[in-house]
Structure 1
Amino acid sequence: MATVIDNDTQSIVVGNGNDRIAIHLKQSATDTVQNQSQSLLLTSILIEIGDIEIQIRRSTKSKNEYRKENILPTSTQSPAIAFHNGDLQKKPATEEKSNANPAYWDYSVVHGPHMWSKIFPHIQCKKFQSPIRIYTDQCEFDSQLARHPFTFKFDENCCQTIENTGRSFQVTGKGSSSITGGPVVDEYQFLQFHMHWGANDLEGAEHVIDGVRLPGELHIVTWNTSKYKTPQAAAASDQFDGLMVFGILVKVVPSDNQEFAKFIDLLSNVTYRSEKININQATIALKNILPSDTQAYYTYKGSLTTPMCYESVCWIVFRENAGLSKRQFDQLRQLKYVCKGDHSTNGNISQNFRPVMPLNGRTVYRSF
């Protein structure tokens, strides 16, 4: 058994690999009566048992908010319990779907990741889904990866627009780009990048590395232009060479990330779902978003982490992390999944990540 204390989080880990059980206790300081002293308030507990995750977290809602929703806890001394995928969200009025169209999905309990296989039945047959847990000591070192380093070429028009999709932000463009090398033999082209995050600093990343889940993960999505005519055809191919997605895990750091600030500071212009703006030429340089060491990474065959969850992805998860300040993470959490004018709910996108999926016999390779 190992106990790890990191700032305000204490982790207790028993076993390893698929037999591993981890309990993460997150605390924060809270003022006592008349601010004379501080005590630690247990804010969340995350329990990981194999591929199962259970989270219990203290609700941030006030007593009056519970009264309005007619769900006031029986004891005001007891914290509310919420499941891993967030509070039970009411579907925004602007996105109400009829029963004839069951394809609506989000990250709530009702339409979230645990329900996707019911909303999209074909997912039930899929065995090589993403994200996954990665343990470095269980990965297979592939010396060939170092002999075929990545080459990235992006022009200044790759990032032309930023949009609130209602599930994240998304940056796209029509500039010329080329990505070669690594575990693939074909040429790939930049399609878009987006990000996943959580309601707090204990969760948010989709991939979990060596038992640690960071609060964010940025995905750079590219598609195979050598074999497919369109990005849609590449994604729907269900061939593991259709897409190549680069995952950059993001941690909390003391100061702002100046490169990431170039798009995070634009988010106030796309607060609501479907809002979209143009980006000035050369504002965002993709090469500066990539980690300094792009040759150290994990790679495996997997899927998109959002519906339709096609198994057409060669995943590249960089070893090197990026960093955002707490202020920048808070900016992400101000994005809303509702359209402007919809006041049926506060609508903040606070948890937009999929839980880890079973490895099901796949091999994860590493280049380092």
Structure 2
Amino acid sequence: RYLYCYWGGVLKRAIPVTINGNAAATAEIFHSVHAGPDKWADNFPIANGPRQSPIDIAPDASSYDAALKPLRLKYDPSTCLEILNNGHSFQVTFADDTDSSTLKDGPVSGIYRLKQFHFHWGASDDKGSEHTVNGTKYPAELHLVHWNTKYASFGEAASKPDGLAVVGVFLEIGGANASLQEVLNTFSAIKAKGKQTSFADFDPSTLLPACLDYWTYDGSLTTPPLLESVTWIVCKEPISVSREQMKKFRELLFSAEGEAECCMVDNYRPPQPLKGRSVRASFKK
């Protein structure tokens, strides 16, 4: 037998699999094969909704909005808790019971607390980002996920039109990124789906570009349940990552221990139709 690992309808690799009668494991493998973005609308009709993400950003079609404020990001390294492999990315989680790590201003009003950050990346350096700029793909994209404290919890906020604010940062090939390397150094402990380890005292602001000019639009989560609750803030300036560092991303696995190994690559959703939405820029062209 051969197991084909898909994400976004793209064949990742064919792996010999011995089916040993473990129905649960087989079902999990089968689900992973058939649950790429092209299938999501079957179970999540909002996949075809009016404000889906990501999008292709066309800078010439975006409008400068002088009313947009600079981003105010205040992150406390002591709120960083752990890093885990959730089977579709790796995620660094933060304590969010106080206003210690927050996003303010930019296109949003109120206080948004940092919940987690994660990445999307490709099987090669010519693709991997979820958002694109004039069709240009980056090898990876960082998402810092925040929730609006006017709601009682992340879970409640995630279902509200103004519930979440996600800062997106592109990665481009260049010099090695020392801050990113701190994250990559944990990967041996979280290689397989479901693995996690403590990850303390990390300052995510060290992963931000020096210039925080941004585009913003109303969008959604880019993985199921695809809720249309996200104010997207996509930074114009990328951060650097070396080719060797990108190779480390691809050593993670979609699969759990005991399953046929399936490398975690191409875990991005393709750009979705704009459907009349406006994209605003915090900077002049």
Is the TM value for this pair above 0.5?
Answer: yes
- Partner of residue 86 from structure 2, selected from 149, 152, 165: 165
Distance in 2 between residues matched to 1:135 and 1:123, nearest whole Å = 22
* Structure with bigger RCO (C-alpha 8 Å, 6+ apart): 2
Q: Which residue of 1 aligns with 2:208?
A: 290
Aligned residue for 1:45? Answer: none
Cα deviation per residue 1:220-242 (whole Å; 9 max; x = unaligned)? 000000x21010111122x1x11
TM-superposed CA distance for 1:122, in Å, is 4.2
1:189–1:337 Cα change, 3 Å: same
Normalised by the length of structure 2, the TM-score is 0.88
Report percent identity of matched pairs.
35
Displacement of 1:83: 7.9
Contact 1:86/1:351 (8 A) holds in 2: no
Q: Look up the match of 2:256.
A: 339
Q: What CA distance in whole angstroms lies between the structure 1 residues aligned with 2:92 and 2:186?
A: 11
Task: Give a deviation string over 1:288-327, Cα, whole Å, max 9, x none.
Answer: 1111112x10000000000000000000000010111111
- Which residue of structure 1 lines up, in the alignment, with residue 275 of structure 2? 360
Cα offset, 1:70, TM superposition: 11
Q: Distance in 2 between matches of 1:358 and 1:122?
A: 13
> Would the aligned equivalents of 2:63 and 2:280 in 1 still touch at CA under 8 Å?
yes
- What one-letter code is carried by the residue in structure 2 that aligns with 1:184? V
- What letter is aligned with 2:73? F
Which residue does the alignment assign to 1:21? none
Question: After superposition, what is the alpha-carbon deviation per residue over 1:35-81, rounded to whole angstroms, capped at 9, x for unaligned?
Answer: xxxxxxxxxxxxxxxxxxxxxxxxxxxxxxxxx8599xxxxxxxxxx
SS of 1:327 mapped into structure 2: helix
1:218-273 per-position Cα deviation (integer Å, ceiling 9, x unaligned)? 10000000x21010111122x1x1100000011111x3110110101111111011
1:96 Cα deviation from its structure 2 partner: 4.1
TM-score (norm 1): 0.69
Question: Given the alignment of the two structures, is residue 351 of structure 1 paired with residue 276 of structure 2, yes or no?
Answer: no
CA distance in structure 1 between the partners assigned to 2:195 and 2:203 by the alignment: 22
Cα 1:358/1:159, change in 2 over 3 Å: same
For residues 12 and 226 of structure 2, the distance between their equivalents in structure 1, rounded to whole angstroms, comes to 23
2:233 counterpart residue number? 316
Could you say what the CA RMSD is over the residues aligned between the two structures, in angstroms?
Answer: 2.5
Q: Given the alignment of the two structures, is residue 228 of structure 1 paired with residue 151 of structure 2, yes or no? A: yes
How has the CA–CA distance of structure 1 residues 316 and 70 changed in structure 2, closer, same or farther, with 3 Å as cutoff?
closer
Aligned counterparts of 1:116 and 1:306: Cα–Cα separation in 2: 9
Distance 1:249 1:95, change over 3 A: farther
Q: Distance in 2 between matches of 1:332 and 1:173?
A: 21
Question: What displacement does 1:120 show?
Answer: 2.2
- 8 A contact 2:130–2:270 mirrored in 1: yes
- Distance between the aligned counterparts of 1:69 and 1:191, measured in 2? 38
Give the distance between the partners of 1:271 and 1:169, measured in 2 at CA. 9
8 Å CA contact 2:85–2:195 kept in 1: the answer is yes
Match of 2:104 among 173, 180, 184: 180
Q: CA offset at residue 111 of structure 1?
A: 1.3
**Which amino acid in structure 1 is aligned with residue 164 of structure 2?**
L
Rounded Cα–Cα distance in structure 1 between residues aligned with 2:14 and 2:46: 25
Please say which structure displays the higher CA radius of gyration.
1
Deviation at 1:153, TM superposition (A): 1.5
Is 1:257 the counterpart of 2:177? The answer is yes
Match of 2:65 in 1: 142
1:70 and 1:155 mapped to 2: Cα distance? Answer: 43
Q: Which among 217, 224, 243 is matched to residue 164 of structure 2? A: 243
**1:361 CA drift (Å):** 0.3
Is residue 158–residue 190 contact of structure 1 (8 Å, CA) maintained in 2?
no
- How many residues are matched? 272
3-state SS in 1 of match to 2:80: coil
How far did 1:117 drift?
0.3
With over 3 angstroms needed to count, the CA separation of the structure-2 counterparts of 1:117 and 1:88, relative to structure 1, is farther
Report SS of the residue matched to 2:170.
strand
Matches within 5 A, 1:258-277: 258-277=178-197
Counterpart-to-counterpart distance in 2, 1:315 and 1:251: 20
Q: Give me the whole-angstrom Cα distance separating, in 2, the residues matched to 1:333 and 1:88.
A: 13
Gaps of 5+ in 2: none
- Structure 1 unaligned segments of length 5 or more: list them: 1-67, 72-81
